[in-house]
Each structure stands twice: as structure tokens, then as C-alpha cells.
Structure 1
Amino acid sequence: MTGQTTIQKSPQNPEPVPEPARGLRGHPWLTLFSVAVGVMMVALDGTIVAIANPAIQRDLGATLADVQWITNGYLLALAVALITAGKLGDRFGHRQTFLIGIAGFAASSAAIGLSDSIALVIGFRVLQGLFGALLMPAALGLLRATFPAEKLNMAIGIWGMVIGASTAGGPIVGGLLVEHVSWQSVFFINVPVGVVALVLGFVILKDHRAANAPRSFDVVGIVLLSAAMAALIWGIIKAGESWGWGSGKTWGFLLGAVVLFGLFALWQQKVREPLVPLGMFRSVPLSAGVVLMVLMAFAFMGGLFFVTFYLQGVKGLSPVDSGLRLLPLTAMMIVSSPLAGALITKFGPRIPLVGGMVFTAASMFGMLTLTPDTGTLSTSLWFALLGLGLAPVMVGATEVIVGNAPMELSGVAGGLQQAAMQVGGALGTAVLGAVMSSKVNAEFGENWKEAGIPVPPAPQLEQAAEFGTVPAELAKAPGMTPDVLAAITKVIQDTFMSGMGLAFTVAGVVAFVAAFVATLTKRGVNADAGGGGVHI
């Protein structure tokens, strides 16, 4: 029957084998194209906003903490909801979940563009994150159910290429929109893309249900897991933002998260149909893939946060020029993602993953050489090396996680993959932000004294050092001379560069640790065998 899924089982192949589709609905490659459009919107949004942050900060009078919450609020919502959203797809169908996610993401994006206060921007970013959580695991679930086992690695490789290229392309698209339209257009662009994705989804996507998909819903598990994730991410964010890592509040939330995760684990062993079967984590490759995603996102998202302020604040580049300066990162991810997919399909993920994290670490340490006077060639080298390192990790870690999970848990596996990335991103932004702030606080006053500036520093100038940007109104301050302005500029930029350098050092160490974790990965057992459960 055209477009239908036939069930063929054998001891070697216990899962359904999709029959090749002859029409539009359910066609594997058209399904890949359809979900890629939706995933592109979410992936692009992850970094397109970074280039708009300085403009939002200026337009709405936001503080550094406010700007961080534009990212952190989104990451918090994603991290809390992703695994539950994956289970929703497993239970009610990935097609329906995907389409609801697309519609909600586009609508919340429009609401952000219409917002006139930083509080509304942050609030709608949280809503945007919740809908994004519905969309991402459902996309992986659709691919897993549509493609035959021998082509799944290739499909995930292309899917990873779309995510990598969209993530890397965000700064360029964002720069063009911010400079020639407005920061609001960064969010409005999601509306037409969302409409296209919806139309494609209604026409092409076919709903697939595994024969042994869950029939009940673990409400208690959802509450416990959501509370645990919220406590973890909230504690991390607030530690980096204002509480500090020595605060009792910080450790109270982190300890609460540990207790809630423990209660969740106990409950999962008792409930008949658990939200996350803990037996999944007896697969060492799957567990290593999850940890690898956390560490990769820590280094990448945390580092990228400061790169945009370096380019626009210290280098004085426009949003468009900042995006163009990051073009080597974009181009390398676009070129190397399909190559990484081919290498992983032929040789397995371990060597490409280890090599990718080594290249990522090398690029982070290489960025320690950046100065206010660094030329385009030097920055391009390190950005290109970063793109070369990230591509195989985004492709390979996804294949490791999803390929080592049973078909009926493909949504949960997709949720795990994305949740790991969001937790890592939140950790990276918060921890490296705290590292940056502590370094700036420790050095700003001393640098000011050494510069011999005849007036005491205003509090807002120390905050400016966290952005690397000299306030435009400073030049018009009473009694300001060109020499004093040049001295203040040097103090702000030197302090920022010192803080950014320490942040990149931490990111580089984390990337090296990730390279060792990558040695524990291997090809998904289900991708090799055409199905089957997790080896436990």
C-alpha cells in the first residue's frame, strides 16, 4: 500500500521496516526536507539572537543580566520541557507534536518582535522555548520512523548539517537584519518560515506509531523531572548572574535538583510505563553521547556569547560585519557536516568525535591570542577551526544517542539529545559569564589606577567592561579630553579581553575533557541491526 508502513519482524530485525513511499506523504527524503525547514528556524534562532543582543540592550536599556536572560530564559524552558515533549511525541504522534511546535514557535516569535520592554522579550522567549521543545525531538522521531536503518545515519548527518549550518549562519543573517531593518526583524523572520514549515508538514509528514509505544502517561514523572531540571538550570543561571557559586541559595537549588533527580529515578523504577526508562543509560555509548552533547554545548554556546561582544564592542564592527567575520565558522560547518556524516557512516563516530572535540579545544585556546588589534586572517583561522570541530560532534553525538535507543523511545532519545545541548548551553553561558564577571571585578579597579586616570571610575564603566563597549555618551561628559577618553577605552577593553581570555581557557579545558568522553562512543546498535533495543 502506498505510503503505509509494513511490519516485518525477525530475530535480527525486530522493529518495523518502512516500505518505500511512492507519494508525497511519508516519503523519507521529503520528510527530511520538511522537518529540516522547521528545525532550521529553531537552530537559526539559537544564535541569530546573539548578534541582536547588543542592539536589544541599547534599545531597551537592558543590563548584562537582562541580556543573559534573553538566552537563559529560552534555554531554561527548552531544558525543562524537552524530554517530556519527546514523550508526548512518542505517545500522541510526532507529526502532531511537530506541527503544534512550529505554529507556537512562529506565534511567540511574532510576540517578541512586538514587545516594547525587556520583561516582555524575556517572557515570550520562555514561551518560544516551550514550543521549540515540542518541535526538536519530534523531528528526530519522524526521521527515525521514516528512514530504513541503512539510511538513518545519512539522514541524521544531513539533519545535523542543517542544524550546524543554521546555527553558524545565525550571526550573518542576524547582522544583516539588525543593521538594515531592526532587532525586531530577527524574530519576525520566523513567521514566514513557520508558515512554510506548516504547509510542508501538513502535506508531507506521515504520523508513525511504534507498535509498543506507551499508552499511559507518567504524570508524576513529568512533575519530578521538570522540577529537577528547573531547579538545576535556575541554580546555575542565578549563580552566574547574581548569587555567586558560594551562595547558600545556589547550593540550595543545586542540592534540591539532586534530591528531585533521585526521587525521579526511584519513581521510574516503580511506575509501569516510565517517562524515561533508566535501562537506556546502561548503554555506555548512549550515556557518553549525552555527556558529550553537554560538554560541547558548554564550550560552544558559552564562547559564542562573548565573541559577539568582542566583535561589536572591542573591534567596533557593525552587526553585519560581525556576522561576516564569523563566515569562516559558518562555511566550515556547512562544508564539513556532510563530510562528517559520510565519515561516521563509514568508520563509526568515535574517531570523528574525538577529533572534533580536539579541534574545538584548539580553537578555544587559539582565541586566547585575540587582541583589540587582531586582524581578520587570525580570527578567521580560529573560527574556521571551531566550525571544523563542531560539525562532526553535532552529527555524531546525535546518531549515537538516537541510534542506541529503541524505536518506541525515539522521541525520548531526541529529547535527551536536545536537553543535553540546552543544559550545556545554559551551563556554558552561566559559568563562563560568572568567570568573566569575577575577572572583570577583580581587575577593573587595579587597571583604572595603573592607567593614572584622574577621576574615580563610575559604576556603569565597570559594567561596560563586561561588554567591552565604551558608552557613546562618555565622549560628551563634562571635562572629558581625548587623552582621558583613550585611557578609559583602553582600561575597558583590556579588562574585557582578560575576562574573555579566562572564559576561553575554561571552555578549552572542557572541550579536551569532552574528547576523552568521545572515546566511549560507538555506532548506534539499532542503526547497525536495523532495530532492536538498547543493549543492557
Structure 2
Amino acid sequence: MTQAPVVTDKASDRIPAPRKSLRGHPWLTLFSVAIGVMMVALDGTIVAIANPAIQKDLGASLADVQWITNGYLLALAVSLITAGKLGDRFGHRQTFLIGIAGFALTSGLIGLSDGVTMVIVLRVFQGLFGALLQPAALGLLRATFPAEKLNTAIGIWGAVIGASTAAGPIIGGLLVEHVNWESVFFINVPVGVLALVLGLVILKDMRAENAAKSFDIPGIALLSGAMFCLIWGLIKAPAWGWGDAATLGFLGGAVALFLLFALWETRSREPLIPLGIFRSVPLSAGVVLMVLMAFAFMGGLFFVTFYLQNVHGMSPVSAGVHLLPLTAMMIVSSPVAGALITKFGPRIPLVGGMVFTTVAMIGMANLTADSGTAATSVWFALLGLGLAPVMVGATEVIVGNAPLELSGVAGGLQQSAMQVGGSLGTAVLGAVMAAKVDDLLPRNWAAAGLPELPPGQAAQASDAVAVGVAPIGKGVPGQLVPVITRVAHQTFVSGMALAFTVAAIVAAVAAVVAVFTKRGENAASGGGVHI
């Protein structure tokens, strides 16, 4: 049967039932979009491992290498909601396929680049194409799966993202070490081709009949400008200083543009984001919960990599292996979380997940420079157990409480909340770490009987210790090396403990916010689907 379903209030009537044909089959649709999303999630962490090799091979400056990451993140964060709107308007299948093709093409071109400027430009385009396919993936799942199976699908989708994100450092380390840095980008080409072929064969174009027919250009410009100012301000705040005029200017500009955007949206005939959707307390709670979860998780995980590599002296591959308890628990518990949320609703799993996350953060705040693999594995596993229901449940709460014709925008909101939360967590916890190191290092240095450092060297030493590196310069006597190393690592761990304590407080607040979530009100009601 290929006729459009009759519009009723039942999700089983509104959403096409599973068919024997390949096109539009729910579980095959999930498999198809998971391959594409896996490529983007993997790219989010795999490139960081290649940055030192890119810097050396292309003769890039530190600022150039930072732009390789920042250009991608900015393009992604700025365009996610607009990309979701494109999917709502033109169909999520089309935007997903364009995103896949563009992401794979730009990846291949980056591998062929012979200059860092071209790498940066192509990374920006990579971010734009990545923004196209991520909200589209959620929109396709929302339109394809019956309401009673959507949580399970999102659970599997979340497990793929978690596994791909955590596998990035391992795969990236192996490729850089045994092949070259270009292979980190070339690997996306065959994966992209596979995802594109599967998408052409399996994905079915489904769009809400009452989707907007025009674009809110001023709204897009205001929101994009606001997101750019916010993310750029957060990225640069650690280098500029939180009280610097440039930092305050960008963050203040973001607030002003967000206010102008909200004012414009109330007057636009077909707004980019109808502000009425935020009257849904569960949807708003889901967005806030996603921001707070990403703040605690991504901000905290930022220090874990330095702890494993610089304090414990692990290689990137070894550090990735030590994070496997986190990955494995997310893979296992994400589908289980989806099933539990389907049966009991999202509130209890979400509250429980953030409580587990809080406990894990407190546990990691008590790690020492000598903590072994057993101790870290316990807290990593508990963190994965806590994050899985939040990734699944908050996504369902946001997408499920939005009207079907705004499922792409809702998917963009979910992804934007993660980007903002992750950037905010990294910036704020980084500032907490730096402040603690600046305060503690001179005292620990003096207590160890080390010679006082001149002001310039003291500042450089603080910068090194803030990432777990012992500031051992040329000509340092051999007998002082272990003393300096011990002081540096102890100071770093103290700063990390404070950062994780702040993350634990944020996670605890998120547990309270999770109380206000509930199952999607629009998961089983609303407009029809045009096929």
C-alpha cells in the first residue's frame, strides 16, 4: 500500500505501519540513518587525534589548528536549527542525503588538501553538511516509527552516537600512527557512500502536510548571529579572559540577538521557531536538561583525556581503551533505557540517570594521580549508565513534545542544546581549573622546596599544569624532575577535583529539572504525514 494514511488522532493511523518492502521500513530506516550519524559522531572526536600530525605536516600554527576544530563546531552549532527547518520544509530524506553526500565529499577533499587554509574552509563546509543530516535523522525516526517504539529506536540511535564518539580516539590513533592523518578523513568516504546508497534505497520521504511553506529569513539571520556570538564567546573566553571586553562583547551580543530573535518570532507570519512550543513545560525542561547534561559530561570528559594521557602517560589509543567502560555501558544501556522509557515514561529514568551521573562525577572528583584502572573504570561505567537514559529520554521529550511539522526544528534544538552545553561546560570548567591551578601551584611549588619562578615562567608553568603537563624546561637538574612532576600532577588533580565537583552540582540540578519531563504530548496526536 502506498496511499497516504487517513488523518486521525491515533499515532498508529498517522504513521505508516511497518511494511515488507525496503522503502520506509522502520528498522531499516534506523539502520540507514545510524550509519550516517555514526560518521558525524566519529568525526567529532577522531579529528582531535590528527591535529598534531596536521600541524607538523602542513606547518600550521596553533591558531590554525584551533580553527580546524572551531570552524567545524561554529558551522555546526550556528546552522542546526535552520537545517532542521529545511528538513521540515523540503523533506528529511532529501536533507539527510544531501548532508551525507556533502559530508563525505568534503572529507575526501580535506584528505587531498595541501594547505591548512583549505582544511579549515572544508571543515566549515563539513560542519554545515553535518548540521543537515543530524536533525533530519531524528525527523525520519519520528515520522517512521509508531509512538510505542520510538523510544527504543532513539535508544539504539543514542548507542550508536555514544559508541562512535568514544571510538574516535582509538580509531584516530591507529590511523594516524599506522597510516597518515589524511586517512582520518578518507575513512568517511566509503562510510558516506554506504550511507548514501542505503538512504536512496530505504529512506522514504515523509513530511507533515501543514509544514511551513516559506522561510523566516530575518529569524534565521538573528538566530545564526546569536548562536555564533555565543559559541565564539565561549570558545575564546579561556584565552581572552572572562572579564575581557571582547568576551563580554560577544556574550552580550548573543543575549541582545536572542532577545531580538524572540521579539521577531512573535511577529513573523511563519516563524523559524514558533515560541509557543516552549509553553510545553516538558519540552522546555528537555532542552534545559540536555544543556545541563552536556555541560557536565563534555566539560568533565575534557579533563579525563588530559588525566589519562598527561598524568598517567597513556597514548591516545590506550586512553581510548581505558574509556571503553563508558562506551560499553552506553551501548548496552541505551536500548534498555529506551524500553524502560516506553514502559514507564521518561521521568523516572531521567531523574535516575542524572543521579547516577552526579555520583559518577563525585567519584571522579576523588581520583588521585595514583588511581588505578579499576577505580577509573567503575566511575566511567557508572557515568555511561547514567548518561544513556538522559540521551534517549531528553531527545524523546524534546522531539515528542513538538508538533510533527516541527520535528526537524525539534531535532535541531536537541543538537543545539548539546553544542551549547558542551561549549559552556568546557569553557566554564576550564576557567575553574585554571583559577584553581593559579591559586594552588605557587603554594605547592614553594612547599616542595623548588626555586621560585619569575612571573613569566610562572604563568607558563600554570598553563602547562592546567592540562596535566609538568613544566620541565631545558637545564632543569635531574633530581628536580620527579619533584616538579609530582607537584604538577597533584595540582592538576586538585583542579580537576574542583571541576568535577562543579559538574556534579550541575548534574544534580539537572536531576531536579528532569522531574518536569513527561512523555511526548504530540507523539500520538497531530497532523497527517504526506508521502
Residues 1:487 and 2:483 aligned together: yes
CA distance in 2, matches of 1:223, 1:496: 42
When normalised by structure 2's length, the TM-score is 0.92
The CA deviation string for residues 179-225 of structure 1, in whole angstroms up to 9 with x for no partner, is 43344433332222111111111221121121111111111110011
The CA deviation string for residues 13-33 of structure 1, in whole angstroms up to 9 with x for no partner, is 698331433322222211111
User: What is the identity, as a one-letter code, of the residue corresponding to 1:138?
Assistant: A
Task: Specify whether residues 437 and 56 from structure 1 end up closer, same or farther in structure 2 by C-alpha distance, changes over 3 A only.
Answer: farther
Identify the match of residue 419 of structure 1 among 392, 416, 420. 416
Work out whether residues 148 and 342 of structure 2, in 8 Å CA contact, stay in contact via their aligned partners in 1.
no
Secondary structure in 2 matching 1:21:
coil
Work out whether residues 89 and 213 of structure 2, in 8 Å CA contact, stay in contact via their aligned partners in 1.
yes
The CA deviation string for residues 52-108 of structure 1, in whole angstroms up to 9 with x for no partner, is 566667777888877665544433222211000000111111111111111222233
Structure 1 residues 95-494: aligned runs within 5 Å: 95-114=93-112, 121-240=119-238, 242-454=239-451, 456=453, 458=457, 460-470=460-470, 477-478=474-475, 480-494=476-490
- Give the deviation of 1:40 after TM superposition: 0.9
CA distance in 1, matches of 2:118, 2:131: 20
CA distance in 1, matches of 2:50, 2:370: 23
Quick check: 109-118 or 171-180, which moved more?
A: 109-118
User: What is the identity, as a one-letter code, of the residue corresponding to 1:468?
Assistant: G
- Equivalent residue pairs, number: 525
- Give the deviation of 1:353 after TM superposition: 0.5
- Give the deviation of 1:141 after TM superposition: 1.0
Tell me which residue corresponds to 1:500.
496
Task: Specify whether residues 116 and 437 from structure 1 end up closer, same or farther in structure 2 by C-alpha distance, changes over 3 A only.
Answer: farther
Work out whether residues 51 and 308 of structure 1, in 8 Å CA contact, stay in contact via their aligned partners in 2.
no
Identify the match of residue 77 of structure 1 among 75, 78, 86. 75
CA distance in 2, matches of 1:352, 1:470: 42
When normalised by structure 1's length, the TM-score is 0.91
Work out whether residues 30 and 157 of structure 2, in 8 Å CA contact, stay in contact via their aligned partners in 1.
yes
Quick check: 412-421 or 122-131, which moved more?
A: 122-131
Work out whether residues 41 and 194 of structure 1, in 8 Å CA contact, stay in contact via their aligned partners in 2.
yes
Work out whether residues 90 and 411 of structure 1, in 8 Å CA contact, stay in contact via their aligned partners in 2.
yes
Work out whether residues 75 and 423 of structure 1, in 8 Å CA contact, stay in contact via their aligned partners in 2.
no
Structure 2 segments unaligned to the other structure (5+ residues)? none
CA distance in 2, matches of 1:82, 1:508: 28
Task: Specify whether residues 307 and 114 from structure 1 end up closer, same or farther in structure 2 by C-alpha distance, changes over 3 A only.
Answer: farther
The CA deviation string for residues 147-174 of structure 1, in whole angstroms up to 9 with x for no partner, is 2233222222222222222223333333
CA distance in 1, matches of 2:149, 2:3: 16
The Cα RMSD (Å) is 2.6
CA distance in 2, matches of 1:128, 1:403: 28
The CA deviation string for residues 301-325 of structure 1, in whole angstroms up to 9 with x for no partner, is 1111111111111100112211111
Quick check: 37-46 or 458-467, which moved more?
A: 458-467
Quick check: 22-31 or 281-290, which moved more?
A: 22-31
Work out whether residues 149 and 342 of structure 2, in 8 Å CA contact, stay in contact via their aligned partners in 1.
no
Task: Specify whether residues 170 and 498 from structure 1 end up closer, same or farther in structure 2 by C-alpha distance, changes over 3 A only.
Answer: same
Work out whether residues 152 and 342 of structure 2, in 8 Å CA contact, stay in contact via their aligned partners in 1.
yes
- Give the deviation of 1:482 after TM superposition: 2.2
Work out whether residues 326 and 383 of structure 1, in 8 Å CA contact, stay in contact via their aligned partners in 2.
yes
Quick check: 202-211 or 122-131, which moved more?
A: 122-131
Structure 1 segments unaligned to the other structure (5+ residues)? none
User: What is the identity, as a one-letter code, of the residue corresponding to 1:508?
Assistant: A
CA distance in 1, matches of 2:437, 2:108: 36
Tell me which residue corresponds to 2:521.
525
CA distance in 2, matches of 1:84, 1:50: 27
Quick check: 498-507 or 243-252, which moved more?
A: 243-252
